[in-house]
Amino acid sequence: MHKHLTTLLCIALVLLAAPASAEVEVRSITRSFEVASGEEIVLDFPLGDVVVTAGDPGQVEIKIVVTCSNSSRRCRERAEQIRLDDTHRGGRLHLEIEGYSNRLTSRPSVEAILSIPATSTLTTEISVGSMRVEDLARDINIDFGVGDVTVFADPAQIGSIRLEVGIGAAEIQPQPRDQWSPGFLFLGNEIYWEEGDGEGRIIIDVGVGEALVRMN
């Protein structure tokens, strides 16, 4: 566990130290899928800034935007290798970004914007980036390596919340009076709340970063 957190922290420091530069869109991928009510949507992304919102029933829409530094020819070449693979069976739509380079230099940036039915279950595994989820009514299970995760939820739809952060902060806003933590953690935080009236469960596990749930 400590070795895993050390690796994630090193990745985070490298990314934060990278100089900012002008980014330009080099390509985009747009797809749509028909899904049944209550199906599970699984996102498996190596890196990216991801936004998921509630949309039309029975429909999943995704747009992936790939950007590069304006002066980086190698980054543009690597961007052309990125693709979206999908597998849809057994009540589960699995979306995976493939062809992404693991090199820390001349690497494309990826932004993914998704619209899914509010009644879908969302499961994600993302290594590095950020994530924002809005207005889903069912289970949300987010496994995040390095980055910040924010979930906006209707408290009437939520039955329980579990936040676990290895290095960083975890918070529920506004803070429920009956939330609890299993103990003091030197670098991280854990928060549990199980007194909601809804059916949805929110589980967020972040290695390095922040996990925030806003109930509004």
As a whole number of Å, the CA-based R_g of the chain is 18
Q: pLDDT digits over 85-107, tens only? A: 999 999 999 999 999 876 667 88
Confidence of residue 158 (pLDDT cuts 50, 70, 90): very high
Q: Give the separation between CA 68 and CA 53, rounded to whole angstroms.
A: 26
Report the half-sphere exposure of 142 (CA within 13 A, side-chain side): 32
Q: Give the separation between CA 133 and CA 135, rounded to whole angstroms.
A: 7
Q: Which residue has the tokens 């209550």?
A: 38
Q: Across the strands, what pairs with 163?
A: 191, 204
Q: Give the separation between CA 41 and CA 174, rounded to whole angstroms.
A: 28
Look at residue 35 in the predicted model and tell me its pLDDT.
97
E-state strands within the chain: 23-34, 40-55, 59-69, 83-89, 92-98, 109-117, 121-134, 140-153, 158-173, 189-193, 200-215
Render the burial of 116-129: b for 16+ CB within 10 Å, e for the rest.
bbbbbbbbbbbbbb
Look at residue 107 in the predicted model and tell me its pLDDT.
85
**pTM as predicted:** 0.86
Taking Cα atoms as reference points, which of 136, 144, 135 lies closest to residue 43? 144
Pairing between strand 59-69 and 109-117?
antiparallel
Confidence of residue 16 (pLDDT cuts 50, 70, 90): very low
Sign of the Cα pseudo-torsion (208, 53, 82, 142, in order): positive
Taking Cα atoms as reference points, which of 50, 54, 17 lies closest to residue 125? 50
Domain definitions of the chain by residue range: 22-118, 139-216
Q: Give the separation between CA 152 and CA 161, rounded to whole angstroms.
A: 12
